[in-house]
Structures are given as C-alpha cells and as structure tokens.
Amino acid sequence: MKKMAFLALSIVFLPTTLFAQDKVEAPVWNVGDKWAFTGNGIIEVIQADPNGYILKFSEEKCIFESQGCSTILFEKSTLNRISVVKGDKRKKYTMGLRKIFDFPFSTGRDWKYAYSAMPLFGFRKGKFSFDYSEHYRVAGLEEVEVQAGKFKALKLEYKRVVTGSSSQWSGGIGEEIKNQYWYSPEVKYFVKCQYDKGWLKGEKELFNWDLTSFHFNK
C-alpha cells in the first residue's frame, strides 16, 4: 500500500517537477557582453547598473528586432524594455517587443502586451499608426543547432495582431504575424529566430537569423 501511495504521489507531482526544471530566471549581463548574428547583426551591452542594462543594436540588425531603436534600456529583473536612450536623454519605450523578455520563463507560460505605433517598413510606413496586440507563449525546451553551436533552448512563440488604426481605412486590421524565438540560458540571449514564411516576402530588412558567435566580459 505504501508503495502504491508513493507511486500515486509521484504521478501527481511529476508534471510540477518537470515544469519547474525548465524555469529560467533573467540572466546577468555585463558591460562588453556581445552577440553576433547572421545578417551582420550585433548586439552589445554598453552599460550596466543596479536598475538595468543598456544594449546597443547595430544598424545592420533586423529593424523588427530592434524596433527602429539603436540603444535600449532593459529592466534588470525582467529584461522588459524600459526606455529608448539617446545620449543623456531617455524616452519611455512604447514600441513592440517590449515584453519579449519577461522573466522568469517557464514552459506553458503565456502573456500579452498591447501598443500603438507606425509601421517600420512596407507601404504603410510613416502614414498612420496601428494598434497591435502581442501574444507570447513559452512552448518548451528544445535542442537547436546554429552556427555558434548546439544549445538547449526554450522556444518562445510570438504572434502580433493588428487590432485597430488611426485612419478610417480599415485595411490591415486583423492581420497577424508569427515568429518563433529560441532562448538559451547558456548564451543569455536568443540563439535563433524564425519568421512565418508568408509574412512580407521580399522585404530585405526581414530575415530568419541564427547566432554566429557570442562573448561574455566577466
């Protein structure tokens, strides 16, 4: 009877144990930490203090990933994007992907974020703003191989839906895009991004990317 009771308890607690094993807290970044990606994309930590980290995105980096901002302040505990940094000035970050990092990560966790902004590219660029709803979900732990090596990574599913527009023209409302990102605790950043194949074909700014190298400055 005791053995059966133990097995029953094991079955009850096994999913919780497996769930907890892939819970990942926010990484610690240091000034000088750097990641390079296909497409000549480079991201580097240029400042760190008790409140957060300032990261610089290279001009060659996919405009969607940087959201058109070259230097961004990330909150230390969650790595949410807080401010756009220009010299000594900081302006509240209001673009997309603000919560693409929203630690801790754990399998099955999902969250949302809504914002309004003008399109960064395409024929609608600079014409009027759209309302967007972003949906994030951690799908699970996978092993992925990229140019920088083979890593165990949490797969993050991303979906963005156009929910409204500042114009009377309703074209584009309901349009959605889907991306997948793979986050490696070992690398302390995403090692791979894969876009929905049907989204904005022919746009040179957009591409699937892999990590090619990384450097930690201890």
Tens digits of residue pLDDT in 65-91: 898 899 999 999 999 999 999 988 999
Is residue 61 predicted with pLDDT exceeding 60? yes
List the domains of the chain with CATH numbers: 30-215 (2.40.360)
Question: Pick the residue with more confidence: 186 or 120?
Answer: 186
What percent of the chain shows pLDDT beyond 90? Answer: 59
Question: Pick the residue with more confidence: 40 or 125?
Answer: 40
Are the CB atoms for 33 and 215 separated by under 8 Å?
Answer: yes
Region 166-193: mean pLDDT is: 86
Question: Pick the residue with more confidence: 136 or 116?
Answer: 136
- Write down the pLDDT at residue 56: 96
Rounded distance, CA 103 to CA 26, Å? 5
Cis peptide preceding 50, ω within 30 of 0: no
Q: What is the pTM of this model?
A: 0.84
Region 159-180: mean pLDDT is: 80
Lowest mean pLDDT among 94-108, 114-128, 158-172: 114-128
Q: Give the Cα-Cα-Cα angle 212, 135, 189 (nearest 5 degrees).
A: 25
- Write down the pLDDT at residue 57: 95
Rounded distance, CA 132 to CA 87, Å? 29
- Write down the pLDDT at residue 167: 65
The CA-atom distances, in angstroms, between 109 and each of 15, 63, 106, 155, 156 are: 14, 27, 6, 11, 10
Q: How confident is the model at residue 17 (pLDDT cuts 50, 70, 90)?
A: very low
